[in-house]
Amino acid sequence: MRLGIISDTHGLLRPEVHDVFREVDRILHAGDVGEEEILTELALIAPVTAVYGNTDGSWLRGRLPKVARETIDGFTVIVTHGDQLGVPDPERLKNEFPDADVIIYGHTHLPLIRDLPDFSVVLNPGSAGPRRFDLPVTVAIMETEPGIPPRARIVPLP
């Protein structure tokens, strides 16, 4: 399965996301969505699993979970914004979700892929919304296949 992973859109869905996610089977959004229209537009590409982030308003908080747990190709996948841990990092997230095979998070706006010793993967796709803090604008693609460790890459957006 091919997953499009996005976070921290903050109300902006760049047109390039449509091209990068063109062939994905599912989309995972790790919070700070900004507006419900972002999720509606993403759903035109593929089914969306999303969580709310610390800047999302009451409408999204009332409709999205803080943490989503999915099983994808036999892998336990956690999607969270991560702000409940202060400044999330791979080790703290793995301690919080020890049974997860894949942990997707946002909040820091820093793209990161970390393979852990137990063969689990922690991934932050970075921020796909308005450019902030001189950080790159990015999303991620992850490919899963039963019995094979997930493979992921960060994709910069212009």
Ordered by start, the domain boundaries in the chain are 2-156
Per CATH, the number for 2-156 is 3.60.21.10
Mean pLDDT of the chain: 97
Whole-angstrom distance, CA of residue 133 vs CA of residue 143 = 29
Predicted structure pTM score: 0.97
Q: What is the pLDDT of residues 57-84, one digit of tens each?
A: 999 999 999 999 999 999 999 999 999 9
Instruction: State the average pLDDT over residues 139-146.
Output: 97
Residue 132: is its pLDDT beyond 90? no
pLDDT value of position 133: 79
pLDDT score of 55: 97
Mean pLDDT of 86-90: 95
